């Protein structure tokens, strides 16, 4: 009888739980038309500008008809959609033949796309895909008012996918990955509720202070870095994907406008970088390390320490030319709708949320720095810090990961 009573109680609990949650079933509420119209509005199309989209088959495909019609309504010329070859590729395919075929496609696309004014990269498409790679070459070689708009959202198989398989999402150690519905709701709000004028104004104020004096970055784990940026190029992602903005671009990244927007990126002047960069649990050479601390003196890496995983850290760094063992870039997010949630925290969209910092190592030429090694593109892109204090010329701008100015 006791056993029966216990089972009955559990059964009743299950029924109650199901009923209690019946009103909170996960639902997809993506506003494809609104998102498409927002994307096209940020392009500020001139009459007759030719727009092409590149899409991943089966991913976010609902937006495509709305996007094409929005281009037409804005006076642009809709060139349709190129579908990337779906990734991941089947394991049975011959890798050499696949690589040769993708390169041949890239070469052909360069010629095909050279007169296209705008290419919109939709979710799931990344730089290994021929059309994407080809248009990067067009942007680099032909320049002018050509530009691309990157609307990547998130997917499980992008080139920068994290361990849980969510591109652009960084999972905080000890926390679980957010549900896809939560990610989509956060991203949609970040796109549709952006106040671009306020975002750009905040970025401009920060950039002016950034140039005025030394930058000091600290964290509770022990980061204590100083550097200067002087008159270095500062890349501001404020959502402006207009032809006028593209005309002033000096590096490729300025022509690749990202939606959602948010970061300010700069390569510190190499010989001004001094101090310690301290990491939480991090991955090096495919392994986990903890308590990693890198010390820089006049831009050069002079000390490498770790509580665990030291050999992995050294293996990764020693595999690179000494010239690339530098602080590649300082990036600060500004988007108020992409901040780390207080409850069940995770880092949305590449750390573009307000107060989130990226301190990356490696080749810095693509972000306006002076260091590049032919054939080597080392870049630790995903090292994000959510609790930095940032002081500019003695004035605190960010305190423990939150803007105070």
Least confident of 24-38, 99-113, 134-148, 174-188: 24-38
Mean pLDDT to the nearest integer, 34-51? 98
pTM over the 0.85 mark? yes
Q: Is 90 left (phi over 0), alpha (psi -120 to 50) or beta?
A: beta
Q: Say which residue, 22 or 253, is predicted with more confidence.
A: 253
Q: In 3-state terms, what secondary structure has residue 115?
A: coil
pLDDT at 240: 98
Over residues 186-209, the mean pLDDT reads 97
User: Is pLDDT at 55 greater than 50 in this prediction?
Assistant: yes
Task: Note the pLDDT tens digit of each residue in 65-96.
Answer: 999 999 999 999 999 999 999 888 899 999 99
Among 226, 302, 307, 235, CA closest to 267 = 235
Q: In sequence order, what E strands does 108-162 have?
A: 118-121, 147-150
- Cβ(331)–Cβ(360) under 8 Å? yes
8-12, 70-74, 141-145, 329-333: which has the minimum mean pLDDT?
A: 8-12
Query: Are 253 and 265 contacting, i.e. CB atoms less than 8 angstroms apart?
Result: yes
Nearest CA to 327 out of 366, 299, 292 is that of 299
Percent of all residues in the chain with a pLDDT value above 70, rounded to a whole number? 91
Tokens found for residue 227: 């550097």
Write the pLDDT tens digit of every residue in 331-383.
Answer: 999 999 999 999 999 999 989 999 999 999 999 999 999 998 888 889 998 89
User: If you average pLDDT over residues 231-255, what whole number do you get?
Assistant: 96
Whole-number pLDDT of residue 26 = 60
- Judged by DSSP in three states, 233 sits in coil
Domain with CATH 3.40.1830.10 in the chain: 32-152
Cα separation, 313 vs 73, whole angstroms: 53
pLDDT in tens, 179-191: 888 899 999 999 9
Q: Would the pLDDT of 283 be above 80?
A: yes
**Which residue from 265, 218, 220 is spatially nearest to 390, judged by alpha carbons?**
218
Question: How high does pLDDT run on average in the chain?
Answer: 91
- pLDDT at position 173 is 85
What 3-state DSSP class applies to 264? strand
Q: Is the pLDDT of residue 22 over 70?
A: no
Encoded tokens for 351: 């750390």
CA 14 to chain centre: 41
Give the CATH class of 32-152. alpha beta
Q: Give the pLDDT score at 156.
A: 65
Whether residue 12 has pLDDT greater than 70 = no
| pLDDT at position 331 | 98
Give the C-alpha separation, 403 to 355, whole Å: 6
The residue among 253, 39, 244, 47 whose CA lies nearest residue 145 is: 244
Residue 281 clears pLDDT 50, i.e. is over it: yes
Please, which pLDDT band fits residue 21 given cuts at 50, 70 and 90? very low
- Whose tokens are 């600290």? That residue is 218
């Amino acid at each position: 009888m006791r056993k029966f009573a216990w089972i009955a109680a559990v059964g009743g609990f299950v029924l109650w739980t199901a009923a209690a949650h019946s009103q909170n079933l996960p639902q997809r509420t993506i506003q494809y038309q609104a998102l498409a119209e927002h994307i096209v509005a940020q392009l500020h199309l001139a009459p007759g500008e030719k727009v092409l989209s590149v899409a991943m088959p089966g991913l976010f495909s609902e937006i495509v008809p709305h996007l094409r019609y929005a281009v037409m309504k804005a006076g642009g010329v809709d060139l349709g959609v190129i579908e990337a070859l779906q990734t991941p590729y089947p394991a049975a395919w011959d890798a050499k033949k696949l690589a040769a075929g993708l390169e041949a496609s890239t070469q052909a696309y360069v010629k095909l796309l050279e007169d296209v004014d705008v290419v919109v990269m939709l979710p799931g498409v990344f730089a290994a895909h021929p059309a994407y790679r080809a248009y990067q070459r067009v942007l680099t070689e032909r320049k002018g008012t050509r530009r691309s708009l990157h609307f990547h959202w998130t997917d499980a198989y992008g080139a920068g996918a994290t361990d849980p398989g969510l591109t652009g999402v960084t999972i905080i150690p000890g926390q679980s990955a957010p549900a896809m519905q939560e990610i989509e709701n956060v991203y949609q709000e970040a796109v549709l509720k952006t106040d671009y004028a306020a975002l750009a104004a905040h970025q401009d104020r920060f950039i002016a202070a950034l140039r005025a004096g030394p930058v000091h970055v600290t964290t509770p784990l022990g980061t204590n870095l100083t550097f200067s940026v002087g008159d270095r190029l500062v890349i501001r992602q404020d959502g402006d994907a207009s032809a006028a903005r593209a005309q002033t671009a000096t590096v490729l990244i300025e022509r690749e406008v990202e939606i959602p927007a948010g970061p300010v990126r700069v390569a510190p002047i190499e010989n001004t970088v001094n101090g310690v960069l301290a990491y939480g649990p991090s991955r090096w050479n495919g392994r986990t390390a903890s308590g990693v601390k890198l010390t820089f003196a006049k831009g050069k890496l002079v000390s490498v320490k770790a509580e665990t995983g030291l050999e992995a850290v050294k293996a990764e760094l020693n595999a690179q030319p000494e010239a690339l063992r530098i602080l590649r870039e300082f990036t600060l997010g500004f988007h108020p709708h992409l901040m780390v949630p207080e409850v069940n925290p995770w880092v949305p969209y590449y750390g573009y949320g307000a107060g989130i910092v990226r301190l990356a190592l490696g080749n810095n030429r693509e972000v306006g720095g002076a260091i590049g090694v032919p054939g080597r593109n080392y870049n630790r892109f995903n090292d994000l810090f959510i609790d930095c204090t940032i002081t500019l010329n003695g004035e605190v701008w960010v305190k423990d990961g939150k803007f105070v100015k």
